Amino acid sequence: MKKMLVTGGAGFIGSNFVHYTLKNHPDYQVTVIDKLTYAGNPANLSAVLDKIEFVTGDICDAELIDRLVADTDIVVHFAAESHNDNSLKDPYPFVETNIIGTFRILEAVRNHGKRLHHISTDEVFGDLELDDPNRFKETTPYNPSSPYSATKAGSDHLVRAWIRSFGVQATISNCSNNYGPFQHVEKFIPRQITEILEDRQPKLYGTGENVRDWIHVDDHNSAVHLIIEKGKIGDTYIIGADNDHTNNKMVIEMILELMGKPRDWYEHVNDRPGHDLRYAMDSSKLHSELGWEPQFTDNNGMERGLQETIDWYKANPDWWKPQKAETEAKYKAAGH
């Protein structure tokens, strides 16, 4: 069997990737490393702990990372600090994990000649005006807006430098906003769902006209596997589902309708500093070169993906309720 090391595998996207891999690619023997910060939850992997090796550890620990990478074939690097609001309050953990942690992984894969796939975000590109017809492409210049996106941009540049300077066998993907099971309630979609489940009006930053390209986490992870199998070493791939929706009309109101509430049953709160206006992804390279097709695309697919996500949060209150009160207290203190 091929050996795969998944960093950040107890987080939202990483844990879904582990589940997706075990289900759809059983030829991989999976090891997960996760620091288990507030965003890493071992309960995300409880159903598969007997099928994987789990290591509690920090990707900044050079000795640990070197040992784990030496005993694997491929590293899939999800581990990151990823919350914009938190990065505005305290940027240092983002510099440490996203920059130093990625450096440690790059040095390990370089020293042991291993394959790397680096997971990044659309936020490295900054934002587009609401009426701008352009979309982010692999060649779009970087223009990050927050400490989070700046450190992710820095990690991408490190990977490209190690590819060019040292011949590291790596690929990069920049993905749009993910949603699905196991996502922390601080994030936009699960926050709205859990507010409604607790019979409180969901809260919307500013006017809610910000546009995001929402992708179901399983679509993201299917694309990552395709890049691992068929992607060109050294290349970057945009992952998007062509689900460009405003946060109000086509996300929060869709959630409210699916949950049996009036479409206008939400509260506007102060916008966050530096809130990007619009993200839009051009994943034509992934379609044309690798033949990828998302399953949860267009309005019908988005509704189906949201309904499945709502059903998951309804069925798993024991998973999200312990996070909820503390998360809302933080938002209240910030005026959100």
Residue 122 annotated in active site: yes
Q: Which amino acid is located at 262 in the chain? A: P
Distances (CA, A) of 285 to 59, 151, 227, 319: 31, 25, 11, 37
Q: Given the structure tokens 């699905």, which residue do they identify?
A: 180
Q: Which of 34, 81, 123, 186 is catalytic?
A: 123
Residue 50 annotated in active site: no
Residues 213, 122 contacting (CB under 8 angstroms): yes
Question: Can you name the residues that pair with 124 across neighbouring β-strands?
Answer: none
The structure tokens listed for 229 are 């199998």
Q: Which amino acid is located at 133 in the chain? A: P
Q: Which of 81, 122, 242, 328 is catalytic?
A: 122
Listing DSSP states for 258-303 in one string gives HTTS-TT--EEEPPPTT---B--B--HHHHHHH----SS-HHHHHH
Q: Could you tell me how far CA 126 lies from the centroid of its own chain?
A: 16
178-179 vs 215-216, strand pairing mode: parallel
Q: Which of 148, 237, 266, 279 is catalytic?
A: 148
Q: Residue 159: in which H helix or E strand, if any?
A: helix 147-166
Q: Please tell me the distance from the alpha carbon of residue 196 to that of residue 263, in angstroms, as a whole number.
A: 12
Residue 218 annotated in active site: no
The structure tokens listed for 12 are 């939202």
Q: Given the structure tokens 């503390």, which residue do they identify?
A: 326
Catalytically active residues, by annotation = 122-123, 148
